Amino acid sequence: MRQLRTTIGLLLLSAALVTAASGCGTKDKSQANANTDSSVAAAGNQSEQAASTDKTKQSIHIYYSDQDLTSLVELNREIEYDSPDQKVAAALAALQTDGSSDALSLWSKAQFLSSSLKDGAVTIDIHLPEEARLGAPGEMLALQALKQTLFQFDEVQSIDVLVDGEAVDTLMGHEELPHPFVK
């Protein structure tokens, strides 16, 4: 019986320490009330912090290239976002990461300068350094990967790709770049 009390006491002490430690670094908004119990204030801050950083998580399809740049490889990735604009930005960031040894990112060396979603139209401004430029098959697959990744979202109806802020005829000199791509 004594061992049970000691175990319960240690668990309660551990829980109190974890609660106190998780409240460290957060600002107590209820300091005006000097009689507020510190453990209650720490728990209140913890729930406020959780509510303010509560992001939507979604599993989406990201499209990569196979090793030979001959076809697209679809992989599932989880993204987090607060708004539709952030959803698009998170999908673009996922496009820039390699999927696996047999799924290569076609956008890893490109720089997405900005992206926005307004009334179903996504506008993406990119910068393509020399090492980000691909041959004709790679450019075609890169555009397909971009379209398939973003058009899976119901709220995206069109995609306009700008290069360094300008509407150009081709992305990398091979494939025609319509302004915008339409779903």
* Contact (Cβ atoms closer than 8 angstroms) between residue 93 and residue 78: no
Question: Which has the higher per-residue pLDDT, 135 or 183?
Answer: 183
Question: Which has the higher per-residue pLDDT, 171 or 162?
Answer: 162
Q: How far is CA 162 from CA 50, 89, 116, in A?
A: 37, 15, 12
Output the pLDDT for position 172.
82
d(CA 24, CA 45): 10
Please name the residues in contact with 14: beta carbons below 8 A apart, sequence gap of 6 or more. none
d(CA 50, CA 97): 28
This prediction has a pTM of 0.67
User: By 3-state DSSP, what share of the chain in percent is helix, strand and coil, each rounded to 5?
Assistant: 35, 25, 35
d(CA 166, CA 123): 11
| Total Cβ atoms within 10 A of residue 157 | 16
Least confident of 49-63, 92-106, 116-130: 49-63
* Contact (Cβ atoms closer than 8 angstroms) between residue 29 and residue 49: no
Output the pLDDT for position 49.
46
Fill in the amino acid letter for 167.
A
pLDDT score of 36 more than 70? no
